[in-house]
Structure 1
Amino acid sequence: MESENQTCVSEFILLGVSEDVLLQPLLFGLFLSMYLVTFIGNLLIILAIITDSHLHTPMYFFLSNLSLADICFISTTIPKMLLNIQTQSKVITYAGCITQLYFFMLFGDLDNFLLTVMAYDRFVAICHPLHYTIIMNPRLCGLLLLTSWIMTALHSLLQSLMVLRLSFCEELEIPHFFCELNQLIHLACSDTFLNDLVMYFATGLVAIVPLTGILFSYSKIVTSIFRISSAGGKYKAFSTCGSHLSVVSLFYGTGLGVYLSSAAAQNSRASAIASVMYTVVTPMLNPFIYSLKNKDIKQALKKLFSQETFST
């Protein structure tokens, strides 16, 4: 029976969002447009923060890193998907699949941790405004960012190494547009009990701990806002974290929606379509949320465009 297992897999087949040939040009145009909007939008946020000295604060430091993580996050899946549609090939090598899995989880987890750090930043700004510059000093900001990178890198490495121990059978078709962890484990014909255990425990830990930190921060923020006597003061305090709260709601809302839909539908293709929400739509909407709801970003973007217009 062991001879039937293919321990040395050379490639997988990514079935994509749809196998309908007539839909492929439409999907290519749609996902290319979404990718370009995401890339350019987040790049403009980064450039605006770098070029405007007024935005050299902890909050915008973390926002620029979030935008960078979003660019990298969407770049791990969509370019390969577009290439497969363009070349009419669904193949991804074994090494490419593991690499994609690692970086997809790395930047997805990094988004999660950065949102938590940004929630803590808002907590300090609203609940301890007089000590904000002392607490959120450059050293702490760098340490928080470094910790986020280390935690996400270790988790991604653990999950990738766990996949490497699996043996795969002849059925190597992944009903998804990227190498998703759960789909890879389901393809294995060796015992996956340990993989399932590590996947649910580690992923749950990486998701629950940051979410708990965000909820705790916002519980303190809401309590502090209610203590403010004037309505104008309450609005001003809440407006400073409105954009972040919108992004957090979008991130966890789409993630939870994908989880619930995949659990209820029992349809891998439906799960792939639902995954588009948090892998593509969320990174694409983040720049719009911050640029539309944040006056500082709006002004920085105007300055950026005016400088480019003047230089040309």
Structure 2
Amino acid sequence: MGEDLATRAELVKLARALGASADEVAFAAALPHTAIRRLRERAVGVLYDEHRSAFRRVAAITRLLPTAVNVRITLRAFPPLLAARVAGEMPPERAAELANRMPVDYLAEACLHLDPRRATALVQLVRPDSVLAIVRALVDRGEFITLGRLLDSATASLVRDVAATVPTDALLRIGFYAESDEQLTHAVALLPPARMRAIVRDALSGPPELRAAGLRLVGRLTDDELRGRLAEYATESTDETLISILQTAIDTGAVRELLVAVAAMGEPAQRRVLALSALAEPRTLGHLVRGVERHNLWLRMAPTITLMDPDLRRRFAEAANLG
């Protein structure tokens, strides 16, 4: 089956943090995604703490100069990478005061290098219109890893503004790399129903990587009622579309995400899924049974299993016994 979606996302983020290629971090694929995350966080800590004293000295000098002079010197003498490192050693209020006077493109590049451990306090003090412009610039550049990291710093009003202006495919890709399940859930809960429906629709009709991002999004939600609502929006699609998302779940190692989504649906939606012709295929049913066993989802899936017609329930039980 290959690596699951959580592992895939963590490997991409580890490669970015180390400035490495996918092949150079492939050794970590055998680790649980939680272990890869811990490895990444420790590596980030080491990288950002190196030469920290030098950046602190530069940050201290900025206290002696007027804001306008600091901005002029920074834009002329400091590339965004160095500016971001210095900003991480400044009081957030001071760093935000400088950021509010800088060009959006410069700040967008600096965001790629901002110490994630110090980002929240700074981002929340920058003018909301500037932050929104930076987000749009990062979306245009395809910097979804950076945006996923910065989601933890987003206020409710910023989430609403971003959701109203950023394309749905970008929202899905940001969610794929979001750091916190809780913050991701909070962000999704802030979306109006029409926007949620659009995200589900575009995930279902998009290319495989977008369908995978949609599955990961639903699977990461910590609110089962919210997960069920999104999952039920999916059942408004055609059988062909639902079978396509089922196949994507199998191909990308996202069977767990699919199963918990179905388990969170109401009974009518579950019956719709259980009637799909693809469930008559032994291979497909086998993947689902193995997913239930691998992720210990028997208790969660029990109500759904009781809704199966006798023939499907029999074949499901046989697949479980064979497994």
Larger RCO of the pair (alpha carbons < 8 Å, separation 6+):
1
* TM-score normalised to structure 1 length: 0.21
Q: TM-score, normalised by structure 2?
A: 0.21
Pair member with larger Rg: 2
